[in-house]
Amino acid sequence: MSFKKLFNKASGAIAGISMLALAGCQMNITEFETKLTNYGEPFPSHVFDANALQRIAGEEDRLKVLPKGSFARVGRIIVGPGSYGTGVLVGPNIVMTADHVTESDSGRTYAPSQLTFHAGYSDGKAVASSRVVAVIAPATSVLGGVKNNAQHSFNDVAFLVLEDNLGDRLGYETIARSYPKPEANGRYLGAVVGNNRNHTQMTTGDFQCSYTKGFPDRRVLNFNCDVDRGDSGGPLYSWRFNAASGTYQREIVGVVSTRDRTGGTAYSVVGSAVPRLR
């Protein structure tokens, strides 16, 4: 049974509903939690704040995520005195983010001492924090002098080496080795999690969206997820069906790079190797 059929069965939606319609549907809290609880999907209901769902409900489709379980691996990257982005643990001491999060407006990479990672950031507090001791990134994520957009999101991924092995305590996420099977309409089911400017003191996510391989030659993915400033560097998740367990496993397929009126783009990290540094 496909993921979409499970979703439709759980939410009471009409069989065969399109992914675009699914991305815009409104589901009440009970339906959402029932779907997650009964069908073994990778987002257990206890990590969501029901009160926050009521506050955030609306066109933006973002849900507050509590810093529990695997969601504590997503965190805020503080850059210098006043800016920030999102990152996610992908190794014991490795955080993956967007390269442009680590760069100044001139395209110059910040010194590691100017970056800190705060895992499980919520309500102004973090589950754990660490200083950054090294930045592994390309020289620049965009063409010289050109705005970072879907046509120029080259190499927009970077890895931060942490002083502390937060992943030994919190665990770390898996980068997909290949793309999962798409839905019948050619789109892939996805989700994004991050710390954006609309909810600066909490981690939120859009779990009812999808993506396509818009610019495969440039490793650019187009998505219709609800994102804003601050989400840059956050994980774009997808799901792969595990026949042995009968459940869907969450994997990272990209990092959020840009946004536009319909969603945005992510830099594909499918098949990427995580640096192994100690």
- Helix or strand run (H / E) with residue 75: strand 74-79
Task: Provide the mean pLDDT of the chain.
Answer: 71
Kindly report the backbone phi and psi dihedral angles of residue 3, in degrees, each rounded to the nearest multiple of 5, phi listed first: -60, -40
* Average confidence (pLDDT) over 130-139: 88
* Average confidence (pLDDT) over 57-72: 65
For the whole prediction, is pTM greater than 0.85?
no
* Average confidence (pLDDT) over 108-120: 92
CA 194/CA 9 separation, integer angstroms: 28
3-68+174-268 homologous superfamily: Trypsin-like serine proteases (2.40.10.10)
72-170 homologous superfamily: Trypsin-like serine proteases (2.40.10.10)
Where do the domains of the chain lie? 3-68+174-268, 72-170
CA 19/CA 4 separation, integer angstroms: 8
* Average confidence (pLDDT) over 56-85: 73
